[in-house]
Amino acid sequence: MFKRYSSLTLNQVAQYSLALILAVTLTACGTNPVTKKKEFQFVSQDKEIAIGKENYSPARQSQGGDYIIDPELTAYVQGIGKRLGAVSDRPELPYEFVVLNDSVPNAWAMPGGKIAFNRGLLYELNSEAELAAVMGHEIVHAAARHGAKSMERGIFMQGAMIAVGIGTANTDYANLAVGASQLGAQLIGSKYGRDAESESDYYGMLYMKKAGYDPAAAVTLQETFVRLSKDRKSDFITGLFASHPPSQERVDANKVTLAKLGAGGEMGKETYAQKVGKLKATQPAYKAYDDAIAALKKNDTATATTLAQKAIAGEPREPRFQELLGDIALSQKKNQESLVYYDKAIKMQPDYFKPHVQSGIALYNMGKKAEAEPFLKRANELLPTAPGHALLGDIAEGRGDIEGALKHYQIAATSNSEIGKQANEHAVKIDLPRNPAKYIRSGAQADNSGNLFAVVENGTSLPVGRVQVRVVKYDAQTGRAVGQSQPMIINGVQPGKRNQVAVGERVKTAQEAQLYKVVVEAAELAK
């Protein structure tokens, strides 16, 4: 008995796709809550909020973690955010505001009102009104659905979001975040279009005025940003300016808005200076920390150690500084010593991923895989990374848990990194013999004389030594299978390359060749 196969024709597929697009279009029209303009809306408010909630924590992890040294400063920033959120066009959003432990001047907003400010940006501002100007701008990004619209464009144009790697601040984990956390990376790293930036400038100033702040600060702040943007060595270039490029055009537009709104309102220079006083007092310690990281990347461990100790002397409560000493020890293969520093960092801030994953790596290096496992699992709970999942895959494989190992390797393989490549190879070694058709593409092809060949293509990064195929012929009228070949062997297929075997059949036309299907039944990697 042969199974009957049926499929939609290309014309039917086109008609179905058009009908689906029209149906979505007709049901996805909405009004922007800020601009009041009509627009397509495929992401509902509930979905916006869910996306922000799901990605906020891993995004913060990937950007240096929360700044915990001065809770009063965080509370101050949160108070300004709530004040502006209350007068926004979407006060119902569950706004959240946090200060991140990163020296790069930056701020970002996620769908659903999840907003973050880097410690480095707070160094550069001079008044509460300037902070409100940046805060109002980010609130508009959330309230006007700019992040959601970026997603909608991706969905409409491509059918799915394309996850990208992320650069974690002050760590060696660039491009190593994996899984769902990659979506958060795309959301916070997106460069908004000119219209979105203009809307955020304009409505952000409106929110400032409504909240009692002097909107003139938005003009002077943009003027400062334009000056700083001319200095290509500025940290702003890799931070705020990468996603929010300043321009004289934006300055001029803000001046027009200011003329409509009228200057006047709270500036808050003294209050701001008081609130950020503790932060600015420790700025030299964080400068030493940043310089130590740069020295470590050059393998200058002596300088890195001296600067790390200087940072600790300037701010002994900072867990990142202890973590850095652990990184230095780990780079010198002093695994046991590194664990002492990572333990201190974890005790200071238990909910930051890096000292957990680094502890796992140190223990793994020492051959203590069972002890490494809980650290790696905890790290992945906070921020899934390629190293975390790759090592867990190796540990699972070592104890015979093949399914668990495959799962970890496949997650690690989503990272665009050397670790991701190695994890993918491990996954292929496990899975290809069980699911060969998943990795080996196949089809029937005729030469100019009509001789039919079974062709396979190796879709892996590893050489395949042997592929077993069978050719099935289908009836043109009924679509039923009417015959099949004996198993045939194709030997030697390099990564990304093709190989073939003669079927022993001849066809008269290319259409006739399409009646033959090549089924991959087995495959094994080259020895």
Looking at the fold, whether 76 and 186 belong to one and the same domain comes out as yes
4 within some domain: no
Mean pLDDT of 423-440: 96
Given 255, 275, 295, the domain boundary residue is 275
Q: Report if residue 36 sits inside a domain.
A: no
Q: Are residues 466 and 404 in the same domain?
A: no
Give the chain's count of helices (H) and strands (E): 23, 12
> pLDDT band at residue 235, thresholds of 50, 70 and 90?
low
Instruction: Evaluate whether residue 15 is within a structural domain.
Output: no
Contact 424, 409 (CB under 8 A): yes
Hey, what amino acid is at 120?
G
| pLDDT given for residue 146 in this prediction | 81
What total number of domains does the chain contain? Answer: 3
Identify whether residues 133 and 259 lie together within a single domain: yes
pLDDT of residue 413: 93
Give yes or no: residues 129 and 63 share one domain.
yes
Whether 35 maps to a domain, the answer reads no
pLDDT for residue 24 is more than 80: no
Shared domain for 140 and 179, answered yes or no, is: yes
How many whole angstroms separate alpha carbon 102 and alpha carbon 116?
11
If one compares 341 and 250, the residue with the highest pLDDT of the two is 341
Report the alpha-carbon distance of residue 280 to residue 150 in Å, rounded: 36
Same-domain status, 377 and 517: no
CATH code where residue 461 lies: 2.60.40
DSSP state of 317: T
Per-residue pLDDT at 248:
86
Residues 97 and 188 in one domain: yes
Least reliable range by pLDDT among 8-12, 188-192, 246-250, 368-372? 8-12
Q: Which CATH number belongs to the domain containing residue 333 in this structure?
A: 1.25.40.10
CB atoms < 10 A from the CB of 22, how many? 10
Which of the four pLDDT bands, split at 50, 70 and 90, describes residue 175?
low
For 494-523, write each residue's pLDDT tens digit.
999 999 999 999 999 989 999 999 999 999
| pLDDT at residue 28, as a whole number | 65
CB 311 within 8 A of CB 285: yes
Residues 96 and 180 in one domain: yes
User: Are 151 and 102 contained in the same domain?
Assistant: yes
Q: What angle (nearest 5°) sits at the alpha carbon of residue 449, between those of residues 443 and 450? A: 40
Backbone angles phi, psi at 443, to 5 degrees: -175, 165
Band of residue 30 on the pLDDT scale cut at 50, 70, 90: confident
Q: Say if residue 317 is in the same domain as residue 337.
A: yes
Rounded to an integer, the average pLDDT of 365-382 is 97
Predicted confidence at residue 155, as pLDDT, reads 47
- Closest C-alpha among 76, 190, 103, 79 to residue 142: 190
pLDDT of residue 163: 31
Q: Considering only CA atoms, which of 94, 95, 121, 93 is closest in space to residue 107?
A: 121
- Residue 116 pLDDT class (50, 70, 90 cuts): very high
- Arithmetic mean of pLDDT, 294-319: 97
Q: Which residues pair with 116 in a beta bridge?
A: 98, 108
pLDDT, greater one: 41 or 76: 76
- What distance in Å separates the CA atoms of residue 131 and residue 144, rounded to the nearest whole number? 20
Q: What is the CA radius of gyration of the chain?
A: 29
* pLDDT above 60 (res 19): no
Average pLDDT over residues 93-117: 94
**Residue 85: inside a domain, yes or no?**
yes
* pLDDT for 465 beyond 80: yes
pLDDT of residue 157: 37
pLDDT band, residue 11 (cuts 50/70/90)? very low
User: Beta strand pairing status for 96-100 and 107-110?
Assistant: unpaired
Give the structural domain span for 445: 436-525
Q: Which of 431, 466, 501 is the last residue of a domain?
A: 431
What confidence tens digit (pLDDT) does each residue in 401-421 have?
999 999 999 999 988 889 999
DSSP 8-state assignment for residue 169: T
CB atoms within 10 A of CB 298: 9
List CB contacts of 232: < 8 A, sequence separation 6 or more.
Answer: none
One-letter amino acid of 99: V
The Cα-based distances of 487 to 50, 105, 482, 525 in angstroms read 51, 63, 16, 18
Residue type at 111?
A: P
Is residue 385 located within the same domain as residue 324? yes
Contact 118, 237 (CB under 8 A): no
Neighbours of 264 (CB within 10 A): 12
Residue 168 pLDDT more than 80?
no
Assign 3-class secondary structure to 75-125: HHHHHHHHHHHHCCCCCCCCCEEEEECCCCCCEEEECCCEEEEEHHHHHHC
Q: Strand pairing partners for 117? A: 99, 107
The answer as to whether 21 is a domain residue is no
388: left (phi over 0), alpha (psi -120 to 50) or beta: alpha
Average pLDDT value for the chain: 87
CA 106/CA 122 separation, integer angstroms = 9
Please check whether residue 92 lies inside any domain of the structure: yes
Confirm whether 490 is domain-assigned. yes
**Which pLDDT score, from 0 to 100, does residue 184 have?**
60
Q: For residues 480 and 476, what is the distance between their CA atoms, to the nearest angstrom?
A: 8
| Same domain? 255 vs 286 | no
Among 431, 466, 482, the domain-final residue is 431
